[in-house]
Amino acid sequence: MARKVTTILSADLLNRDVYRIRLLLPESEHAGAEFKAGQYLDICLPDGKKASFSIASSPEAGRELELHIRHMPESEFNDSIVQHLLHQPSVEVELAMGDCTLNVDELPVDQPIIFAAASTGFSQVKSMVEHLIARASKNPIHVYWGARVEEDMYLESLPNSWAEHHTNIQFVPVVSEPEKSPGWKGRTGLLPAAIVDDVQDLTNVQVFACGSPAMVYALLDALEEQGFTQSQMKSDVFAYAPRP
């Protein structure tokens, strides 16, 4: 695991509280192979504290890294990270970690892939889907993004664009509190229920679950009732929040 000083290229507010952070790795002959699609990095502050964030860019982006970070001003630690990224020219990172990764070369060509994202878990999904697109994968790809309200899907136009331009990609946004999303006409309810309702045959499906432990285990439980097995699901949650 390598620690590197990255240049902070930009910090753009995507909605009321999520920033898109763009970092530039130092020049290296291995710049495009620093991480695998789906991995995460640690931001290392000068006081020694660290925080983990999924890498939202695909390996094909080379030296440029993208992060999606929700600002929580009530958290002194989170706020210190965001303030550093907003006001400093550089930040140290350690990369890359995580086993919830995608290896295009090992995918059976006809295997359906379901990406289940909650909140900023979409950042991890973005890296993997853009990697599949860059590698011209023809696998059936189903992207589900669950949020309380539509505004929380801070890059909703991007997966809509994937689906529009690639016939093998389907995007299903799901809102759990539609009464707080004026004009919402899409799917409502909880993310696991939407996926279970849609997927009839789970025999050959690979699922990537990107979100909180509560969401991941709720999805796993719902799918297992339909004959799914945990070996078909990848999630960082299994490593940092294993069930007893």
**pLDDT at residue 28 in the model:** 76
221: pLDDT strictly greater than 70:
yes
pTM of the predicted model over 0.85: yes
90: pLDDT strictly greater than 70:
yes
How crowded is residue 238: how many other Cβ atoms within 10 Å of its Cβ?
18
109: pLDDT strictly greater than 90:
no
In words, the CATH class of domain 104-240 is: alpha beta
- Separation CA 37–CA 31 (nearest Å): 14
- Separation CA 72–CA 83 (nearest Å): 11
Q: Does domain 2-97 correspond to CATH entry 2.60.40.10?
A: no
- Separation CA 136–CA 215 (nearest Å): 30
Residue 33: pLDDT band with limits 50, 70, 90: low
Q: Cα torsion for 32, 37, 39, 40, to the nearest 10°?
A: 70
Q: Residue for token digits 């860059």?
A: 134
**pLDDT at residue 231 in the model:** 96
Q: What residues does each domain of the chain span?
A: 2-97, 104-240
Instruction: Give the chain's length.
Output: 244
